[in-house]
Amino acid sequence: MTDMAPTTAPTTAPSAETALDLPPPRRSPALALLRRGLRHGGLVAGGVILLLIVGLALAAPLVAPHDPYAQELSRRMVPPIWQAKGNWDYLLGTDKLGRDYLSRLLYGARISLLIGAVTVLISGVIGTTLGVCAGYFGGRVDAVLSYIVTTRLALPVVLVALASAALVGSSLQGVIIVLGLLLWDRFAVVTRSATQQIAGSDYIAAAKAIGCSTPRLILTEVLPNILNPLIVVATLEMAHAILLEAALSFLGLGVQPPLPSWGLMIAEGKQYMFFSPWVIAIPATALVFLVLAINLVGDGLRDVTAPENRN
Amino acid sequence: MLAFTLRRLVVAFSVALTVSVIAFVLLHLSGDLATSIAGAEASPAQVAEVRHQYGLDRPLTVQYLDWLWRALHLDFGNSFYFRDSVVSLIATRMPVTLTLGAISLAISLIIAVPLGVLAAVFRGTIIDRLALTFCVLGQAIPTFCLGLGLIIIFAVNLRWLPVSGTAGWQNYVLPSVALGWYAVPAVMRLSRNGMLEVLSADYIRTARAKGLSPAAVVLKHALRNAIIPVVALAAVQFGFMLGGSIVVEAVFSMHGVGHLAWEAIARNDFPVVQAVVLILAAIYITLTFLADVINALLDPRMRVA
């Protein structure tokens, strides 16, 4: 074990004169990953936008200039400041009930992020359980899983989500449950193939040989080794969930008023879009930026954690 | 090949059967059917009468088999709200959705395949980067936002195309772009990757070595082989588009099947919802089955899976 020392010692760059005759120092894998990540333009751009949106959402009570639910009927449909009749009290204008648009937008980010995160948590647990079992056990278990996934894919997702949301009652919780129970398919597909790839490796065989129980083997050997692809799917599925929530709320069967969901804001603004397009342009832009940022982070993480899978 | 087809056929049938159970359960979770049929003002005795007449007092399995038997004969009963048979409602609205889906698919293929081929041929250049950036941006725009944006630009400001309705071909342009857009990134990525794989194959080097022009190599030799997986994806995307058209039909007030399902869900008219779910799923299952078989015919290596 004494020859372990040189591999762990120098993590900082060597000085110029020693660099010539010494082999390049080994960096810790985490540091190397971070370096690669910071050099990836898309990941950095997406990460910055995403952090900004998350920060604003968390700080909404502090930064929002008004109460997002307070109606001021004498100040309805005030345009945003870049338009002729703009008002500095309402940077992004007000909606048809005189509620401050900027404040609603900030609180709306909380709803989108909450729905994205909790949905991914539910669907991730379902999909990963199914996928890891199918990939690890193979054979008949695998056949049953691919059958379940095929059936799930055959269901028209928007339609079934709408119908189920109507059945459980359209609400924030309802949308989260419905989407969580519907969007696990990609988790299952990705974790299945990732588990298949590592199922034959030596460390799994070694763990088996020392008498590791199957649940423990899956938790301590399989899961940590499929974490990278899992995080990538979770990111991309979060964007998917946010888009679907916006669509459901837009169709009136998702989050209900007076909650400031971005999809709902677009639906409420639809009747004014001919004369005041900003009413839908503002929440739509916010939605596009959030989804774009999440997708950039997801794509970037895939490139950085698995460079061999690029393209 | 026959064994492969049969195996896929069995899977397709069992998936369809499972979906039918889900659709049936959906209807029965939606509330007491006898009350829905009899109406809100009916007395308990009338409700019981309706329950008996419609056979709703029988065991659920018997009801399911009876419903499935009728569904196979395209009898989905009557709508609670529209006072018409579910089949005739769907039949009158299906052409709108199918037309919309077909044009959308055509638009997305026309945009995505050349883009993917260009990106592969000029791999690593600015063209490739632009194409990939376009994909990432495209994926972030929700269908309904794109639809509303197209209305504001092309219907309200430029007045080139109508805002809504299904009167003429002009009405289909904006909705088809909005719906087709969604499939562009996936198709483009697949044609780019397929093309990259084919372009590094030996027979392409041979074609180049014997002095064929680059255009002939790409179009005649490479594209034909790279396009095979795109055929399968196109079939799947068409199925997704029929399901996703609900949003576009709502934005553009087009009275297709999606709009019908939306109205039906809002009015708790579950026989209609159930039938639409079942029919859309059946179309999707048929399409993926056909795509699998076509793929296996074109590429014998696929027949193992």
Please name the residue of chain A whose CA is at the shortest distance from the CA of residue B266: A166
Measured CA to CA, the distance from residue A107 to residue A98 in angstroms comes to 16
Q: Give Cβ neighbours of residue B100 (< 8 Å, ≥ 6 apart).
A: B172, B175, B176, B179, B241, B245, B248, B249, B254, B256
Measured CA to CA, the distance from residue B224 to residue B204 in angstroms comes to 12
Cα distance between the two ends of chain B:
11
Report pLDDT for A3.
Answer: 43
Measured CA to CA, the distance from residue B119 to residue B113 in angstroms comes to 10
In a domain, residue B283? The reply is: yes
Q: In the structure encoding, which two tokens stand for residue A217, read together?
A: 């083997």
Domain that holds residue B298: 93-303
* Cβ-nearest to A162 among B242, B265, B268: B265
Distances (CA, A) of A141 to A138, A150, A197, A271, B243: 6, 14, 17, 51, 29
Report pLDDT for A25.
Answer: 62
Q: Give Cβ neighbours of residue B92 (< 8 Å, ≥ 6 apart).
A: none
Say how far residue B236 (Cα) sits from the centre of its chain.
7
Distances (CA, A) of A142 to A138, A148, B59, B296: 5, 10, 34, 22
Q: In the structure encoding, which two tokens stand for residue B294, read together?
A: 């076509």
Please name the residue of chain B whose CA is at the shortest distance from the CA of residue A163: B265
Q: Is B141's CB within 8 Å of A166's CB?
A: no
Distances (CA, A) of A233 to A128, A218, A307, B99: 11, 19, 16, 33
* Cβ-nearest to A292 among B137, B266, B280: B137
Mean pLDDT throughout B155-171?
79
Number of neighbouring beta carbons within 10 Å of residue B75: 14
Q: Is A295's CB within 8 Å of B140's CB?
A: yes
Amino acid identity, residue A176? I
Verdict on whether the full-model pTM lies above 0.95: no
Write out chain B residues lying below 8 Å of A246, CB-based. 142, 144
Report pLDDT for A310.
Answer: 47
Phi, psi of B112 (to 5 degrees): -75, -40
Burial code (b: 16+ CB inside 10 Å, e: under 16) for A72-104 equals: beebebbbbeeeeeeeeebbbbbbebbbbbbbb
In a domain, residue B122? The reply is: yes
Helix (H) or strand (E) holding A37: helix A29-39
Mean pLDDT throughout B89-104?
91
Cα distance between the two ends of chain A:
40
Least confident of B12-21, B230-239, B278-287: B230-239
Residue of A148, A160, A297 to mutate for B, most B C-beta atoms under 10 A = A160
Report pLDDT for B199.
Answer: 82
ipTM for the complex? Answer: 0.85
Q: Is B246's CB within 8 Å of A295's CB?
A: no
Phi-psi category of residue B159: left, alpha or beta, with phi > 0 → left and psi -120 to 50 → alpha: left
> Measured between CA atoms, how close is A144 to chain B, in angstroms?
11
Distances (CA, A) of B169 to B99, B116, B259: 10, 28, 19
**Residue among A43, A39, A38 nearest A297 (CA):** A43
Low-confidence ranges of chain A (pLDDT < 70): 1-27, 307-311
Report pLDDT for A166.
Answer: 84
In a domain, residue B13? The reply is: no
**Residue among A213, A238, A248, A268 nearest A76 (CA):** A268
Q: Is B145's CB within 8 Å of A266's CB?
A: yes
Write out chain A residues lying below 8 Å of B276, CB-based. 159
Distances (CA, A) of B294 to B233, B235, B238: 12, 11, 16
Measured CA to CA, the distance from residue B165 to residue B187 in angstroms comes to 29
* Cβ-nearest to B265 among A239, A253, A266: A253
Report pLDDT for A20.
Answer: 56
Write out chain B residues lying below 8 Å of A167, CB-based. 26, 29-30
In a domain, residue B101? The reply is: yes
DSSP A244-301: HHHHHHHTTSSSPTTS--HHHHHHHHGGGTTT-THHHHHHHHHHHHHHHHHHHHHHHH
- The domain that contains B148 carries what CATH number? 1.10.3720.10
Measured CA to CA, the distance from residue A138 to residue B232 in angstroms comes to 26
Least confident of A129-138, B28-37, B189-198: B28-37
Phi-psi category of residue B40: left, alpha or beta, with phi > 0 → left and psi -120 to 50 → alpha: alpha
Write out chain B residues lying below 8 Å of A159, CB-based. 243, 246, 258, 261, 273, 276-277, 280
Please name the residue of chain A whose CA is at the shortest distance from the CA of residue B28: A167
Q: Is B266's CB within 8 Å of A253's CB?
A: yes
Q: Select the more confidently predicted residue: B162 or A231.
A: A231
**Residue among A244, A248, A257, A256 nearest A96 (CA):** A257
Q: Give Cβ neighbours of residue B46 (< 8 Å, ≥ 6 apart).
A: B38
User: For all residues of chain B together, what is the average pLDDT?
Assistant: 85
Q: Is A156's CB within 8 Å of B280's CB?
A: yes
Angle, alpha carbons B134-A43-A26 (nearest 5°): 135
Q: Is A251's CB within 8 Å of B247's CB?
A: yes
What's the number of CA atoms in the CB half-sphere (13 Å) around residue A307?
Answer: 6
Q: Is B250's CB within 8 Å of A253's CB?
A: no
Number of neighbouring beta carbons within 10 Å of residue B62: 10
Residue of B7, B144, B253, B272 to mutate for A, most A C-beta atoms under 10 A = B144
**DSSP code, position A65:** S
* Cβ-nearest to A159 among B15, B148, B246: B246
Write out chain B residues lying below 8 Å of A311, CB-based. 192-193, 196
Q: In the structure encoding, which two tokens stand for residue A123, read together?
A: 């669907």
Amino acid identity, residue A94? T
User: How many domains in chain B?
Assistant: 1
Q: Give Cβ neighbours of residue A305 (< 8 Å, ≥ 6 apart).
A: A33, A228, A229, A231, A232
Q: How many CB pairs under 8 A join A and B?
A: 123
Q: Give Cβ neighbours of residue A142 (< 8 Å, ≥ 6 apart).
A: A134, A135, A192
Q: What is the pLDDT of residues B225-255, one digit of tens each?
A: 788 788 888 888 888 888 888 999 999 888 8
Burial code (b: 16+ CB inside 10 Å, e: under 16) for B180-218 equals: bbbbbbbbbbbbbbbbbebbeeeebeebeeeeeeeeebb
Q: What is the pLDDT of residues A108-163, one digit of tens each?
A: 999 999 999 999 999 999 999 999 999 999 889 998 988 999 899 888 888 889 88
In a domain, residue B117? The reply is: yes
In a domain, residue B288? The reply is: yes
Report pLDDT for B305.
Answer: 52
Report pLDDT for B106.
Answer: 93
Q: Is A159's CB within 8 Å of B273's CB?
A: yes
Q: Is A166's CB within 8 Å of B266's CB?
A: yes
Measured CA to CA, the distance from residue A212 to residue A109 in angstroms comes to 45
Q: Is A147's CB within 8 Å of B258's CB?
A: no
Report pLDDT for A22.
Answer: 61
* Cβ-nearest to A296 among B136, B141, B284: B136
In a domain, residue B61? The reply is: no
Report pLDDT for A8.
Answer: 43
In a domain, residue B37? The reply is: no
* Cβ-nearest to A252 among B244, B266, B281: B266
Q: In the structure encoding, which two tokens stand for residue B214, read together?
A: 């680059």
Residue of A146, A158, A244 to mutate for B, most B C-beta atoms under 10 A = A158
Measured CA to CA, the distance from residue B113 to residue B184 in angstroms comes to 9
Chain A residues whose C-beta sits inside 8 Å of any chain B C-beta: 42, 147, 150-151, 153-160, 162-164, 166-167, 239, 243, 246-247, 250-253, 263, 266, 270, 273-274, 277, 280-281, 284, 287-289, 291-292, 295-296, 299, 311
* Cβ-nearest to A157 among B156, B243, B285: B243
Q: In the structure encoding, which two tokens stand for residue A47, read together?
A: 């990460």
Write out chain B residues lying below 8 Å of A289, CB-based. 140
User: Which neighbouring-strand residues pair with B85?
Assistant: B78
**Residue among B113, B255, B99 nearest B179 (CA):** B99
